[in-house]
Amino acid sequence: MSTFAYPKPGLSNTNSYLTSGIPFVTASVALPGLTTNDPVVISFPQVTKFVTIKNTTPDAHSIRVGFSKNGVLGTNYFLLEKDESFSAELRVADIYFISNSNGGNGNEEVTVIAGLTTIDRSELPTNWSGSAGVG
């Protein structure tokens, strides 16, 4: 007798992106200074549908945001200034952050809000690392 299994959703499963996202929030994530070469990574339990990031740093420092460690430490990142936010529909498993300040006084913080799909993060094993423009 054959056993049937329902297929699990993958990256190209449109229905996973049409439904409401599962909420994910983390706040007041402290960021290290740029000279540490050790960015903070937020790893999502599932692939994201959308992401909103806000620089909640009390000082006037900017933060780097990227999608790989090499990207955020190299040239494939974008900056968020104090109180600036960024929102986009992105399918990622990880986001990397580090202070854009060499000293990094430890006051740099970020808040992340995301909508998660039902797609397991293992479906995106490299988080676009090595892709053109990602790092």
Q: Do residues 129 and 135 lie in contact, with contact meaning Cβ atoms separated by under 8 Å? A: yes
Four-CA torsion 54, 23, 132, 31, nearest 10 degrees: 40
Q: 88 in a domain, yes or no?
A: yes
pLDDT in tens, 74-128: 889 999 999 999 999 999 999 999 999 875 566 789 999 999 999 999 998 887 7
Q: 66 in a domain, yes or no?
A: yes
For residue 71, the enclosing domain spans 29-123
Residue 130 pLDDT exceeds 70: no
Q: What is the CATH number of the domain that holds 106?
A: 2.60.120
Domain count, the chain: 1
- pTM given for the model: 0.90
Q: 96 in a domain, yes or no?
A: yes
Q: 95 in a domain, yes or no?
A: yes
Q: Residue 1: what pLDDT?
A: 63
